[in-house]
Amino acid sequence: MTKKLAMLNRLRPRIISQGLTDLEILAERVTKNTTFNSDEFYGMLRLAMKEAVKALQAGETVKLDGLVNVRPYLKVNGKVDMALLGDRRALAALNNPKLWTADKVSNYRNLGKSSEELVELWNTSHPDDPVEDL
């Protein structure tokens, strides 16, 4: 029997990575139609990231306007992690359904289906390995 969580992870829609954009690429894109030098701008971005880490080390929340708020938090085991809270404007821009077409989303046909519908779909296509009831 398949566990429900394993089934959901296999059938749920996922955004397919379209590549990686780092600070250097962002610097090139930002400065493309400006008088700024991309190397200098990249250096400024790197300095900003170093300052952001120092702020996090001081226990501060770092707000990157229009993108995300980042705050450090302590796990029970004593390890530190970061919580990311997306900016509402950025999330609104990402929630445009026209962005997420079948070529950018795996299991696109399952978009909007409930977990019960996914269980039924799994059980129909895998009769020898049904989802186990919890």
Find out if CATH 1.10.10.10 is the number for domain 4-15+22-125.
Answer: no
Interatomic CA distance for residues 88 and 67, integer angstroms:
8
Nearest to 8 by CA among 106, 97, 122: 122
- Within 8 A by CB and 6+ apart from 107, the residues are 11, 12, 13, 14
Interatomic CA distance for residues 8 and 131, integer angstroms:
10
Name the phi and psi angles at 63, rounded to 5: -105, 115
> Can you give the pLDDT at residue 49?
96
Interatomic CA distance for residues 106 and 97, integer angstroms:
15
**Domain-by-domain residue ranges, the chain?**
4-15+22-125
What is the tens place of the pLDDT at every residue in 78-116? Answer: 999 999 999 999 999 999 999 999 999 999 999 999 999
Interatomic CA distance for residues 59 and 52, integer angstroms:
11
Type and span of the H or E element at 88: helix 88-94
- pLDDT band at residue 133 using 50, 70 and 90 as cut-offs: confident
